[in-house]
A and B are shown apart, each in its own frame.
Chain A
Amino acid sequence: MSGAGIAFEREGATSGFRWPFASWWGTGLVGAAVWLGVAAVTVLWREVIPLPYGDVFAWICAGVAAVLLVGAVTGAPGPIGQRLRNAGPWAIALGLFLGLWEIVTAKTGRLPLPFFPSPQALVEVYVDDWPRLLDSLAASGWLLVRGFAFGALAGFSIGLAMGWWRRAGYWIHPVLRLIGPVPATAWLPIIFFVFPTSASASVFVIALASAFPVAVLTWSGIASVNRDYYDIARTLGASERFLILKVAVPAALPHLFVGLFMGLGSSFAVLVVAEMLGVKSGLGWYLSWAQGWGAYANLYAALLVMALACSTLITVLFRARDRLLSWQKGMVRW
């Protein structure tokens, strides 16, 4: 009976009147209009001071508009369509922001140069100076990876030793209390003359900055493990090695990840400072170089690259955590 009722309702729904554009995606349509508008403003409105690369910027905007339009007309089906739908409101907001930016810089000159370059000036940087940007990104990345890897490993080992062996805790704890809270950058002047190269010095400072939070949180993670876990494992015949590797460490893993996030955050800060002060390559160096030349478009371009790179690294760490801690419930999604 009830099954027939449901079938009847479905039929009723499909046989009713249908709006001709009912399957279109409205938000996408609005987004496409906005981005097309930005392109039109860029091309048609005369600039205060003529600028190159306006056409490239307009084409990029038109491309975004085209993607949104295709999505709008097809109704954005499938998993890719779903992602596009999610991004829809943001696409509108971003388009409006870019349009406004274009108008207050290139078109009217409301915001003063050189501090506020126009969107096409950023496009110019990416088109003309990408080899140097890429080089800086690679240099920063390599420095960060080495520093953070050493720091995380050292921090984890220190935290584990403190949490597990009373004697290790006795000796390490005061040192950690004294040195840990000092901003790692405060050591830079000393470290730059102690270490043979500025790169090795930077690796050390980044490691120092990331090791402290990792050590403290690993330590507290190990210390807060439910004592019953050890009793159970011991009754079942576990060795000390098993207790450390298969009980203490996995139980402390949620804490460890908090430490890794904090460590990664402070390693970004230290990286940029180190590159601005001593290292002759990398995004931090690019920033101070651009500032020195008053090349503010380069500055913004590098900042954007840096933001994307840092965000990507945090995302990678979150993904790793999601995999390893899939047994936990109620996790924050990045």
Chain B
Amino acid sequence: MVAAAALRIPEAEAAAGFRVDIRDVSHRFVLDGKPLPVLDQVGFSVKPGSFTALIGPSGCGKSTLLRLLAGLDHPTDGQVLVDGVPVGRPDPSRILVFQDPTLFPWRSVRDNVALGPEARGTAKAAGGRIDEVIRTVGLDGFASAYPHQLSGGMAQRVSLARALVNDPQLLLLDEPLGKLDSLTRLAMQEELVAIWRRTGLTALLVTHDVEEALFLSQRVIVFGPRPARIVATIDVDLPYPRHRGDPRLAELRREALGHLGLAESW
């Protein structure tokens, strides 16, 4: 009960994020004519406006789950519900941020951020919002720069801004900090928390980094090797802002690594 009280709901300024329900989802790819199961009877729910991390061995199908939620793929079995409705086509209210920033190299930073509004024909009206988001991610002054002029961290900020400008209610983060150097990574972890707390969106983060998962999220879902199944769920009962040196985080890390079969190293 004490733990529940410590779970502070972020002070949301926009409408609360989407609720997510994954119901008995199984998914297979066909590789060289043979079916390759990647998800096996996965089921969990995520509360509106919460921050959930998915960790597990690489290639276990976590990223596939995000693609299903984005509407880029459809599950072989089971149901993927966002706000109670089965996911159909991709939609700007559910946005996926990739490990690679994948910016369009022929567009300036501003034009990359403006991609969503432009695609929907609302770029003119969204002008102020675009500049605002560029400021939010700390890139004012770089609006007219081209992607090849940016560092990895800056490029990933642009990619984040490109998602945020559409005011998504579900932000799907597929190892967004995976390729950054460790200092940039720490700084951007804090920024991610700040953005999430300010917007009130629902965040789903796939990561390999146990510490990152525990530092950012309210709940960590641990997956086993492919085909992915949920091995454990860890509630991170700590208020924000958090401190990396918190002994509770170390405790939880040991627990998480234990679920991943790595307890011996601790």
Could you give 28 example pairs across A and B, Cβ below 8 Å? A226-B102, A231-B90, A231-B96, A232-B98, A232-B115, A232-B162, A233-B119, A234-B72, A234-B89, A234-B90, A236-B92, A236-B116, A236-B166, A237-B90, A237-B166, A238-B119, A242-B118, A246-B118, A246-B119, A247-B104, A250-B104, A250-B106, A251-B106, A327-B107, A327-B148, A328-B105, A328-B148, A329-B148
- Distance between Cα atoms of A328 and B147 in the complex (Å): 9
Q: Are A327 and B106 in contact (CB under 8 A)?
A: yes
Interface of A is mostly: helix
In the complex, chain B residues whose CB is within 8 Å of the CB of A246:
118-119
In the assembled complex, A239 has its CB within 8 A of some CB on chain B: yes
Return A224 CB to nearest CB of chain B, in Å.
14
- Interface hits, B92-117 → A, CB 8 Å: 92, 94-96, 98, 100, 102, 104-108, 115-116
Known A228-B98, A231-B72, A327-B148: A236·B119 in contact at CB below 8 Å: yes
Q: Which chain B residues border A239 with CB–CB below 8 Å?
A: 119
Q: State whether B118 touches A235 (Cβ < 8 A).
A: no
Closest to B104 in A: A229
Could you tell me the distance between the alpha carbons of A328 and B105 in the complex, rounded to whole angstroms? 8
Q: Which of B94, B95, B105, B107 has the most CB of A within 10 A?
A: B105
CB-CB under 8 A for A235 and B100, given A246-B118, A250-B106, A329-B148: no
* Closest chain B residue, CB of each to CB of A233: B119
Q: Is A253 an interface residue (CB 8 A)?
A: yes
B96 and A235 within 8 A (CB): yes
Give the interface residue-count category, chain A: 20 to 34
Determine if B206 is an interface residue (Cβ-Cβ < 8 Å).
Answer: no
Tell me the residues in window 127-161 of chain B with beta carbons closer than 8 Å to chain A beta carbons.
Answer: 146-148
Which residues on the B side are within 8 Å of A242 (C-beta)? 118-119
A-B contact number at CB 8 A: 67
The CA of A325 and the CA of B148, in the complex, are separated in Å by 12
A242 to B71, CA, bound (A): 19
Among A81-136, those with CB < 8 Å from B are: none
Interface residues of A (CB under 8 A from B): 226, 228-229, 231-239, 242, 246-247, 250-251, 253, 325-329
Q: Which 6 A-B pairs have the closest CB atoms?
A: A236-B116, A238-B119, A235-B90, A237-B120, A237-B92, A327-B146
Interface contact B102-A237, CB-CB below 8 Å: no
B116 touches A237 (CB 8 A): yes
Q: For the complex, give the distance between the alpha carbons of A290 and B81 in Å.
A: 80
User: Which residues of chain A have C-beta atoms less than 8 A from B104's C-beta?
Assistant: 229, 247, 250-251
Tell which of A235, A326, A328 touches B94, judged by Cβ atoms closer than 8 Å.
Answer: A235
Bound: A231/B89 CA distance, A: 11
Query: Most A CB atoms within 10 A — which of B89, B90, B147, B148?
Result: B90
Chain A's nearest CB lies how many Å from the CB of B122? Answer: 9
Q: Which chain B residues in 45-64 approach chain A with CB under 8 Å?
A: none
CA distance A250 to B115 in the complex (A): 14
